């Protein structure tokens, strides 16, 4: 079997296309098996199999650089660059990362996995290679979804202006998580529906360019005819106006055709876009058919279909309450940066299609647009993963905060998220959001708390509000076990030695620790602070009378929620000992969240041990 014999990209050369098609089938099976076991980005990778084979046959990695935007679609690249044998450990603790990883391979360059950055990296590398006269080719692969991000446009603008030697592969499958929302994408679809025209156009120009004078005349003719159909063929005009040559579209599942296009592109000086059309989920019927669950980010066990909303999760609590609030508050509108399904917005969008906006992978724009909507009298709510909002922190601070606009930020996947690794943990949001003047920050510890906080938020109109919650199942509590407004909730009074504060999901670990300590004769006072900012002054007064105050959070321990408690106690002149427990300032690799928490001493036994140490 070719896959077994494959030790690196060089082994791809000298193969027949029939052999390569067979290899593509084997790679698909390997990916489906690994994702079935561990979950992962199924659709994007199944769609990029032939494209990646072609890239590795035309470019000589690692001497030439193959750069992946976002990096979720780099499974095939991993398999072709010597990691096929380890591939079954994908996303396992200690196993292969779900994204390119510099520690894993010299073929991997970018591992940040926040979208739309690749053109900037490519420009930087091209600039450096030009300065050192290094003859290394650079190819940057970017999806139509990632192309909607502001940074991609900034990069394109600069590449075109500088004339950097970069081949840009626009991998167009028409989808982000959901169908890609952008005017450029709509225009790409026009080309998608009539591909022969552009291919012919590119060929004529290419051949004409080789003949002096005649070529000039024909080229001019081609340019004029292009101008005439500019309206119809916006993307080529768009790229070429920026100084970036456009070629395509090509069938991204035809290895020979992609290779020819890449070879031709490499002949040109300056940046070239090679537009390839691919099908997300290609070759696996359930992924091709299932538009939400198995298509993009599949869970282990691929048999599941239907809604992406996990029953009983924080996301489900959010989703359910949002629809209810939508009925009550006609001014409430929801915004997503290309993730309407996984952030739980679909029920709201189904009910209020005119009040739900997908702005593309454009968090910065989403935040400032929300400020504008709020200024105009709407009540905008942004549903976003915690890790992605950090990209827009300047907009949160100045465009929303400084203007005191009552934008609501709903942050899902806060804290340690698990299999997606360093760039996906939501551990910076508490540090950053608590520094925005006038920002209220809630951290719900259960399903009903999140619902209550959303309702209370609607009454807080003097500035922005953020509610942040963790991935997965939310505990359910009964009536009367939920707080209200900006008040903290005291769960039990202790013997005056230890006060324990568990923020958000960490309340569960704090409760476990309190139970363990009770067995050792230490009765802790236990709080669910509920509100990270402003802290409830009654809670601060109460805990100030304890010998020891311990705070637990699932974000960075420096500058986060616990640091706020420490400051408040300091200002009050309390002389208790304060211990802030949280995540260290490190890039934390992928792994099971429970295991990661335990490793940092953030589970019941770990917290109890920290407290014992202080007591002893």
What is the contact mask toward ligand TPP in residues 208 to 247, using x (rule: CB under 6 A)? Answer: ----------------------------------------
Cα gap 212→584, rounded to integer Å? 64
| Alpha helix ranges (H) inside 133-194 | 150-162, 183-192
Catalytic one among 50, 320, 363, 553?
Answer: 363
Q: Is 363 one of the annotated active-site residues of the chain?
A: yes
Catalytic one among 280, 355, 413, 579?
Answer: 280
Question: Using N-to-C axis directions, what is the helix angle for 195-209 and 183-192, rounded to 10°?
Answer: 80
Q: Are 238 and 191 in contact (CB under 8 A)?
A: no
- Positive or negative CA dihedral for 91, 77, 179, 37? negative
Q: Is 285 one of the annotated active-site residues of the chain?
A: no
Residue 170, classed as helix, strand or coil, is strand
Residue ranges of E strands in 448-497? 465-470, 489-492
* Chain center to CA of 195: 31
Q: Which of 101, 164, 173, 368 binds ligand TPP (CB under 6 A)?
A: 173
Q: Which of 181, 188, 335, 337 binds ligand TPP (CB under 6 A)?
A: 337
Residue 35 is a binding residue for ligand TPP (CB under 6 A): no
Residue whose CB is less far from ligand TPP, 318 or 447: 318
What is the contact mask toward ligand TPP in residues 261 to 300, using x (rule: CB under 6 A)? Answer: -------------------x--------------------
Residue 361 is a binding residue for ligand TPP (CB under 6 A): yes
Q: Hey, what are 562's tokens?
A: 């616990």
Nearest to 3 by CA among 79, 56, 89: 79
Residue 175 is a binding residue for ligand TPP (CB under 6 A): yes
Cα gap 60→22, rounded to integer Å? 22
Q: Which of 100, 145, 271, 591 binds ligand TPP (CB under 6 A)?
A: 145
Q: Which of 75, 246, 388, 447 binds ligand TPP (CB under 6 A)?
A: 388
Residue whose CB is less far from ligand TPP, 157 or 423: 423
Nearest to 397 by CA among 423, 371, 426: 371
Residue 91 is a binding residue for ligand TPP (CB under 6 A): no
Residue 200 class from Cβ within 10 Å (0-12 exposed, 13-18 middle, 19+ buried)? exposed
Q: Which of 138, 181, 258, 339 binds ligand TPP (CB under 6 A)?
A: 339
Name residues whose C-beta falls within 8 Å of residue 585's C-beta, 6 or more positions apart in sequence: 556, 558
Residue 573 class from Cβ within 10 Å (0-12 exposed, 13-18 middle, 19+ buried)? exposed
Only one of the segments 82-90, 138-146, 305-313, 507-515 lies at the binding site for ligand TPP (rule: CB under 6 A); that segment is 138-146
Residue 115 is a binding residue for ligand TPP (CB under 6 A): yes
Catalytic one among 91, 245, 391, 413?
Answer: 391
Cα gap 603→179, rounded to integer Å? 40
Residue 107 is a binding residue for ligand TPP (CB under 6 A): no
Q: Are 173 and 279 in contact (CB under 8 A)?
A: yes
Residue 394 class from Cβ within 10 Å (0-12 exposed, 13-18 middle, 19+ buried)? exposed
CB of 287 to ligand TPP, least distance (A): 12
Residue whose CB is less far from ligand TPP, 34 or 608: 34
Residue 34 is a binding residue for ligand TPP (CB under 6 A): no
Q: Is 280 one of the annotated active-site residues of the chain?
A: yes
Only one of the segments 168-176, 208-216, 239-247, 463-471 lies at the binding site for ligand TPP (rule: CB under 6 A); that segment is 168-176
Place of tokens 């909507």: 373
Cα gap 424→386, rounded to integer Å? 8
Q: Which of 391, 468, 489, 579 binds ligand TPP (CB under 6 A)?
A: 391
Only one of the segments 172-180, 306-314, 325-333, 501-509 lies at the binding site for ligand TPP (rule: CB under 6 A); that segment is 172-180
CB of 69 to ligand TPP, least distance (A): 6
CB of 387 to ligand TPP, least distance (A): 8
Residue 144 is a binding residue for ligand TPP (CB under 6 A): yes
What is the contact mask toward ligand TPP in residues 40 to 79, using x (rule: CB under 6 A)? Answer: ----x-------------------------x-xx------
Residue 158 is a binding residue for ligand TPP (CB under 6 A): no
Residue 112 class from Cβ within 10 Å (0-12 exposed, 13-18 middle, 19+ buried)? middle
Cα gap 368→390, rounded to integer Å? 14
CB of 120 to ligand TPP, least distance (A): 13
Residues at the interface with ligand TPP (CB under 6 A): 44, 70, 72-73, 113-115, 143-146, 171, 173, 175-177, 180, 280, 337-339, 361, 363, 388, 391
- Residues identified as active-site: 280, 363, 391
């Amino acid at each position: 079997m070719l896959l077994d014999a494959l030790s690196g990209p060089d082994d791809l050369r000298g193969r027949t296309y029939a052999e390569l098609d067979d290899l593509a089938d084997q790679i698909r099976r390997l990916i489906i098996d690994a994702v079935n076991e561990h979950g992962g980005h199924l659709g994007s990778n199944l769609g990029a199999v032939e494209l990646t084979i072609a890239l590795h046959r035309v470019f000589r990695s690692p001497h030439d650089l193959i750069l992946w935007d976002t990096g979720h679609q780099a499974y095939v690249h991993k398999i072709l660059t010597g990691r096929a044998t380890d591939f079954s450990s994908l996303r396992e603790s200690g196993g292969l990362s779900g994204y390119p990883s510099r520690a894993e391979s010299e073929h991997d360059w970018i591992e940040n996995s926040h979208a739309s950055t690749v053109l900037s990296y490519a420009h930087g590398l091209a600039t450096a290679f030009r300065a050192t006269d290094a003859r290394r080719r650079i190819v940057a692969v970017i999806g139509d979804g990632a192309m909607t991000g502001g940074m991609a446009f900034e990069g394109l603008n600069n590449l075109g202006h500088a004339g950097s030697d970069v081949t840009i592969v626009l991998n167009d499958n028409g989808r982000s998580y959901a169908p890609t929302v952008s005017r450029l994408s709509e225009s790409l679809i026009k080309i998608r529906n009539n591909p022969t025209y552009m291919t012919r156009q590119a060929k004529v120009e290419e051949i004409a360019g080789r003949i002096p004078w005649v070529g000039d005349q024909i080229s001019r003719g081609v340019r004029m005819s292009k101008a005439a159909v500019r309206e119809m063929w916006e993307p080529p005009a768009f790229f070429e106006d920026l100084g970036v040559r456009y070629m395509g579209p090509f069938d991204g599942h035809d290895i020979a055709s992609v290779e020819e296009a890449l070879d031709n592109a490499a002949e040109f000086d300056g940046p070239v876009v090679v537009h390839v059309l691919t099908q997300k989920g290609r070759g696996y019927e359930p992924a091709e058919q299932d538009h939400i669950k198995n298509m993009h980010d599949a869970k282990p066990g691929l048999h599941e279909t239907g809604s992406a909303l996990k029953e009983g999760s924080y996301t489900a609590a959010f989703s359910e309450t949002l629809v209810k609030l939508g009925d009550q508050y006609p001014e409430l509108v929801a915004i997503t940066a290309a993730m309407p399904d996984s952030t739980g917005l679909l029920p709201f969008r189904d009910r209020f299609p005119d009040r739900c906006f997908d702005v593309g992978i454009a968090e910065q724009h989403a935040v400032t647009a929300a400020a504008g909507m709020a200024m105009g009298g709407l009540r905008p709510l942004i549903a976003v993963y915690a890790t992605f909002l950090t990209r827009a922190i300047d907009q949160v601070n100045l465009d929303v905060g400084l203007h005191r606009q009552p934008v609501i930020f709903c942050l899902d996947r806060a804290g340690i998220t698990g299999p997606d690794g360093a760039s996906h943990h939501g551990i910076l949001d508490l540090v950053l959001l608590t520094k925005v003047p006038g920002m209220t920050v809630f951290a719900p510890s259960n399903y009903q708390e999140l619902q209550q906080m959303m309702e209370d938020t609607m009454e807080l109109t003097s500035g922005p509000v953020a509610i942040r919650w963790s991935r997965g199942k939310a505990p359910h509590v009964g009536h009367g076990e939920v707080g209200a407004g900006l008040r903290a909730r005291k769960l039990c009074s202790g013997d005056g030695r230890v006060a324990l504060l568990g923020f958000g999901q960490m309340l569960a670990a704090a409760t476990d620790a309190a139970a363990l300590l009770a067995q050792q004769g230490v009765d802790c006072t236990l709080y669910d602070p509920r509100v990270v900012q402003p802290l409830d002054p009654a809670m601060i007064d109460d805990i100030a009378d304890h010998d020891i105050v311990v705070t637990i959070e699932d974000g960075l321990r420096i500058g986060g929620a616990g640091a706020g408690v420490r400051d408040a106690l300091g200002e009050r002149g309390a002389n208790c000992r304060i211990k802030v427990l949280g995540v260290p300032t490190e890039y934390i690799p992928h792994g099971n969240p429970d295991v990661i928490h335990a490793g940092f001493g953030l589970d019941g036994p770990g917290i109890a041990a920290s407290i014992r140490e202080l007591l002893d």
